[in-house]
Amino acid sequence: MKLWQKGAAAHEKVDTFTVGKDREYDLVLAQYDCEASMAHAKMLGKIGLISDAEAEQLCAVLADLKVQAENGSFTIEEAFEDMHSKIEHVLTEKLGDLGKKIHTARSRNDQVLVALHLYLKQELGEIKTQVLALFDLLLELAEKHQNNLLPGYTHLQVAMPSSVGMWLSAYAESLVDDLYFWEAAYKIADQNPLGSAAGYGSSFPIDREFTTELLAFQQLKVNAVAAQMSRGKLEKSTAMALSSLGSSLAKLSMDVCLYMGQDFDFITFPADLTTGSSIMPHKKNPDLFELVRGKCNSLQALPNQLALLTTNLPSGYHRELQLAKGPIIDAVQELKACLDILLFSLPKLQVRPNITDQKKYDYLFSVDTLNAEVIAGKPFRDAYKALGKAIEEGKFVPNRSVQHTHLGSIGNLGLEAIRAKMQPLR
């Protein structure tokens, strides 16, 4: 069944190519299509295109289909092109001609748009909950390990003393920036496109403010053409938020992989969070974090992928937009899985004690030793040259008594200030 079919069917080859994996992704979106259809039916009843009793009948069947979609028992057989055609078929099968009235004053274009908006609102909300949990966990671990010194690096060369607390709270604060991107994506998703039909509105006297309120959208996407043009922009804005989070998670995971290596040996995890080798019995591989790194690096390509897909499209609907559905759904699920595994594994982080006591980290304290001489009255440039000469001649004696007091340093992490930055985003 195809909602657009008026006579002869399309060739099977055309059908296979145009439908692609849409049925698979529509199983994810079906509950939101049912939710939007219920609001649409109530609106049709409100303006008198169907009776209130008919609206109630439609909503009863749609509510049952929504439950099926939520629990995974809803199916879209090959006879149906998409979720819309399957849902309308069930309505018609159960309610006769009344089922055929559900499509009045709308198009599949605004149907899929509103389903995507509702889906991404829900998923972005769940992602934010995970991000906030990760933020709290990172600050908790930072506080626990704030006195565990850690080498800091520039150019992968030993640079200055850091700490496990400084390292972890840096990623916590990075999540604040990531949620600024999230806020923009959520605001774009929180607009109702229903009623734009094929992108040019309808001659029926529909009440779009009514469906906006029923579907709990903050705003209405007012202009029908603008509503249709949000297809693609909605996905790209979400992709930017996912990409920003992916960047933070990938970098954190890369650090974990490095710090677990025998050449660093700063941290470790219990054996049940690592994997082994088929021939090397000593191995404890950080596969979890390598996969988070890989998946999140792939997420960073998504905005560019969607930009290239939509870059030269004029206003109005075009079939390429169908190709944006799969990547954004897959990306959402990948990011949620990455956040979930980090929330599961990071609480079991084990930190090696006295890391920077090793002689190979003597040069970490060159700047602190230099600064102590400046505080004692020596001009900075003179102290710098003298210390550089001592290092070259092998006469450098490090001063490991670090005294960092400014906000955001290893001696004053400013965890409460970081928590305060996140508070307005909760």
DSSP string, 158-183: EEEEEEHHHHHHHHHHHHHHHHHHHH
Nearest alpha-carbon partner for 248 in 173, 186, 309, 316: 173
If you average pLDDT over residues 404-416, what whole number do you get? 97
CB 324 within 8 A of CB 232: yes
Residue 302 token pair: 């998504």
How confident is the prediction for the chain on average, in pLDDT?
94
If you average pLDDT over residues 333-340, what whole number do you get? 98
Domains assigned to the chain: 12-101 (1.10.275.10), 108-147+163-193+223-356 (1.20.200.10), 357-425 (no CATH)
Q: Which pLDDT score, from 0 to 100, does residue 154 have? A: 96
Q: With the CA atoms of 359, 362, 364 and 367 taken in that order, what torsion angle do they form, in degrees rounded to the nearest 10?
A: 170
Distance CA 190, CA 212 (A): 10
Distance CA 386, CA 109 (A): 72
Q: Which pLDDT score, from 0 to 100, does residue 1 have? A: 52
Q: Which pLDDT score, from 0 to 100, does residue 2 have? A: 53
CB 87 within 8 A of CB 62: yes
pLDDT tens-place string over residues 366-387: 999 999 999 999 999 999 999 9
How many CA atoms are closer than 13 Å to the CA of 32, on its beta-carbon side? 22
Q: What is the pTM of this model?
A: 0.93
pLDDT tens-place string over residues 83-97: 999 999 999 999 999
Residue 74 to residues 20, 91, 120, 333, 334, Cα–Cα distance (Å): 19, 14, 20, 20, 23
Q: Which pLDDT score, from 0 to 100, does residue 112 have? A: 94
Q: Which pLDDT score, from 0 to 100, does residue 4 have? A: 42
Nearest alpha-carbon partner for 54 in 84, 99, 92: 99
């506080």: which residue's tokens?
Answer: 143
pLDDT tens-place string over residues 170-225: 999 999 999 999 999 999 999 999 999 999 999 999 999 999 999 999 999 999 99
**Amino acid letter for position 300:** Q
Distance CA 192, CA 208 (A): 8
pLDDT tens-place string over residues 113-133: 999 999 999 999 999 999 999
